[in-house]
Amino acid sequence: MMEKKKELLVRHFHKPPSPSEFARIEDANVPAVLEGCVRGWPAYRLWNPSKGGLERLKHLAGAATVQVMATTSGANFYGDIRGHDRVPIQFQSFLDLADRSRTGAEMSNLESEFAFLESEDVQLYLAQAGIFSQESVSPSPLSALREDIETPSFLQTPVSAMNLWMSVNGSRSSTHYDPFHNLLCIVSGCKEVKLWPPSAAPSLYPLPIFGEASNHSGVDFANPDLIKFPRFRWAMENFQSVTLHAGDALFLPEGWYHQVDSEAVTIAVNLWWPSKISLKLGSHMDAYLLRRLLANLLDSEKENIIEEFRRSVSGDVEAQSDRSDMSINVQNTSDARKSVTDVVEKSCVTADAEPAKCREFIEGSGATVNVQNAEGNHTGSNKKLKKKSKRDRRRSKVRVVKGAEDSLRSTETDDMREVLVADASPSITQSESAVQDVGSDMPTSSAQKYGSTSLRNAETQALRTLVLCVSDMMMSTSDDTHEDPFQEQSQVSGLDTIARVFSSLDPPSLQRTLLVMSIDYPRTLEALILHKLSPLASEILTRKFEEMDADSGLDLPQEEFYAQIYRVFDDPGLAMAALVDGKESLAAMALQRVLDGNLGLSCTLPGQAAGHL
């Protein structure tokens, strides 16, 4: 059914294991089917309903009172106690109901005694009826049944609980896990068990940890709502299934989710005992262990987020390539040229560059603009534009910047340098001075080596994209709105463009690109790091830095690279703080997903906007 990790595959044993074999099975913490494991039990011979076995059960414990689950939701039994009724009934009466169900006999003489039987839709299930409990002071209701049960010789750990499970007309239990190791032994009948490892919890939506049924999935397994629980689709397609017949047993490790279907009249006994992990709980180490577990889950979830992004990038490459050659349709050439000019001029002003340089670039760049109805009437177009909503105006600006980006693709690097040179200062003169200052501590040959013309094609495109992204987002944040510019960007591109650029470059290419940016566009780099990195981009960038640190084939030693990059910032500590803040925001999102997926807790952590990477 699914791509299964080899180490998580259910193993099958055709004969009962030895104690040492079972110890290895237990340590592996993976389910195992033990065929014929309980055929030596007296219960296997004496409890078969078709051979009068129900009379044997009556003889042993017929007078005991048991709590039977009763539901009208078909044969589906949910872990949440609000999903069914608990009906006290004598064990022998329940056995009579099972016998009549098995033979198809009428139950009319029992309906007067048990009002719940008046409904034709009622279904019954005897679940977790106690045979033995280490914690119980008084004997369990069905303790007499132990006479016919033998603890397997391979099980060396003392059993903490033993229970009887018995269906009348078949049953389906909801998806859940047990907080103990479990040996499910089939005495009579047949069960099909679907299995998921503990790591599948996010796709199974466990109920909140503070609830009475916290070990159960919150999804209606019989009729799942995939709109409300979209991740459950993965669970429906990715599970292991085993069929257990009379005499078989299934070792279910602690924490493994399982959903069980039983045939008409099926009798099973399960044994619970604590795992080695469970034995360590309940001590002064609990708080520490909790933090370690959450930290491990958090790290794993961060890797999942990065991997999801990488898959999105790889799936988006072809679509982005197709879109890259598309131009923008507008109503009138002059309106379009003026709009592009205004927007780029505004973005340049925001970046403190010289507006005239931006206008000169737009007027002479040969930007590609497709025109529809060039002769159409544009009278009053300015009034119409003023009536647009803020969102419409903002989207229009983003589309225009996309057009400017297309035009940059068709120009040489020198054209871009002419337009965006010294983007970082109140005046061109000051900007040129700043560029000179930035490179003054490096040898002349090194400064020349890392000019824009030294970049390869992919690196040049990456540099252009980063510069335009900063310009785009400056324009967006200058609008009178409190909406997240990254959300707007994602609506246009579908991905975090800056994170995508970082992810696409290998360490040497990213080093060269950032070096050129620090020399030619220092204030843009400053704005990028301090204000424009999403949490995802911050995480990817710092990971790339780590890859650079370990790469011996870089053009420039890392200590010189860092010195050049941090020279851009008036306070290098702010740059480091911005990167750390971004990484911690991503970690907060990962923790949010951990709490939701594993503990069923939906919450927004301080300073973390839900859903924004």
Q: State the amino acid at position 395 in one-letter form.
A: R
Q: Which residues pair with 245 in a beta bridge?
A: 190
Range 230-247 average pLDDT: 95
Q: Flag whether 251 is in a domain.
A: yes
Q: Please tell me whether residues 410 and 522 are part of one structural domain.
A: yes
Q: What pLDDT is recorded for position 470?
A: 86
Q: What pLDDT is recorded for position 485?
A: 35
Q: Flag whether 606 is in a domain.
A: no
> Which range, 577-581, 598-602, 604-608, has the best average confidence (pLDDT)?
577-581
Q: Please tell me whether residues 328 and 270 are part of one structural domain.
A: no
Q: What pLDDT is recorded for position 119?
A: 56
Distance from C-alpha of 67 to C-alpha of 88, rounded to nearest angstrom = 5
- Segment 333-351, tens digit of pLDDT: 334 334 333 433 344 433 4
Range 421-445 average pLDDT: 37
Q: Which residues of 409-419 are buried (b: 16+ CB within 10 A; e: fewer)?
A: eebebebbbeb
- Segment 493-539, tens digit of pLDDT: 346 899 999 999 999 999 999 999 998 899 999 999 999 899 999 99
Q: Please tell me whether residues 463 and 563 are part of one structural domain.
A: yes
Give yes or no for residue 450 having a pLDDT over 80: no
Q: What pLDDT is recorded for position 402?
A: 40
Range 74-81 average pLDDT: 67
Give yes or no for residue 82 having a pLDDT over 70: no
Give yes or no for residue 483 having a pLDDT over 60: no
DSSP 3-23: ---GGGSPEEESSPPPHHHHH
Q: Which residues of 206-216 are buried (b: 16+ CB within 10 A; e: fewer)?
A: bbeeeeebbbb
Q: Which of 249, 279, 309 is the last residue of a domain?
A: 279
Q: Flag whether 308 is in a domain.
A: no
Distance from C-alpha of 299 to C-alpha of 307, rounded to nearest angstrom = 12
Q: How far is CA 473 from the centre of its chain?
A: 28
Q: Considering the chain, what is the average pLDDT of its residues? A: 75
Which domain CATH number covers 60? 2.60.120.10
Q: List the helix and strand counts (H, then E) for the chain.
A: 24, 16
Q: Please tell me whether residues 396 and 250 are part of one structural domain.
A: no
Q: Who has greater pLDDT, 38 or 6?
A: 38
Q: Please tell me whether residues 347 and 273 are part of one structural domain.
A: no
Distance from C-alpha of 424 to C-alpha of 520, rounded to nearest angstrom = 10
Q: Flag whether 289 is in a domain.
A: no
Sign of CA dihedral 466, 467, 469, 473: positive
Q: Who has greater pLDDT, 66 or 334?
A: 66
Instruction: Say which residues have a Cβ less than 8 Å from residue 304's Cβ, sequence separation at least 6.
Output: 590, 593
Q: Please tell me whether residues 352 and 443 are part of one structural domain.
A: yes
Q: What pLDDT is recorded for position 481?
A: 42
Number of domains in the chain: 2
Listed in order, strand segments (DSSP E) in 443-530 are none
- Segment 84-134, tens digit of pLDDT: 678 899 999 999 989 988 877 665 555 555 555 555 567 888 999 999 999
Q: Flag whether 125 is in a domain.
A: yes
Sign of CA dihedral 558, 560, 565, 571: positive
Query: Residue 262 in contact with residue 190, Cβ under 8 Å?
Result: yes
Q: What pLDDT is recorded for position 76?
A: 73
Range 390-416 average pLDDT: 39
Q: What pLDDT is recorded for position 236?
A: 94
C-alpha to C-alpha distances, 357 to 34, 349, 425, 436, nearest whole angstrom: 79, 11, 14, 19
Range 251-270 average pLDDT: 95
Going by pLDDT thresholds of 50, 70 and 90, the confidence category of residue 471 is: confident
Sign of CA dihedral 478, 481, 486, 489: negative
Q: Flag whether 304 is in a domain.
A: no
Q: Which of 260, 279, 298 is the last residue of a domain?
A: 279
Q: Please tell me whether residues 335 and 248 are part of one structural domain.
A: no
Share of the chain above pLDDT 70, in %: 67
Query: Residue 302 in contact with residue 542, Cβ under 8 Å?
Result: no
Domain that holds residue 187: 6-279
Q: Flag whether 398 is in a domain.
A: yes
Q: Please tell me whether residues 594 and 483 are part of one structural domain.
A: yes
Residue in 91, 113, 95, 226 with CA at minimum distance from that of residue 168:
95
Query: Residue 416 in contact with residue 359, Cβ under 8 Å?
Result: no
Q: Who has greater pLDDT, 174 or 349?
A: 174
Q: Who has greater pLDDT, 384 or 539?
A: 539
Share of the chain above pLDDT 90, in %: 45
Distance from C-alpha of 457 to C-alpha of 468, rounded to nearest angstrom = 17
Q: Please tell me whether residues 39 and 111 are part of one structural domain.
A: yes
Q: What pLDDT is recorded for position 124?
A: 85
Range 316-338 average pLDDT: 40
- Segment 152-173, tens digit of pLDDT: 999 999 999 999 999 888 888 8
Tokens of 42: 């007296």
Distance from C-alpha of 268 to C-alpha of 167, rounded to nearest angstrom = 9
Least confident of 192-196, 312-316, 429-433: 429-433
Range 421-439 average pLDDT: 35
Going by pLDDT thresholds of 50, 70 and 90, the confidence category of residue 380 is: very low
Give yes or no for residue 235 having a pLDDT over 80: yes
Q: Please tell me whether residues 273 and 333 are part of one structural domain.
A: no
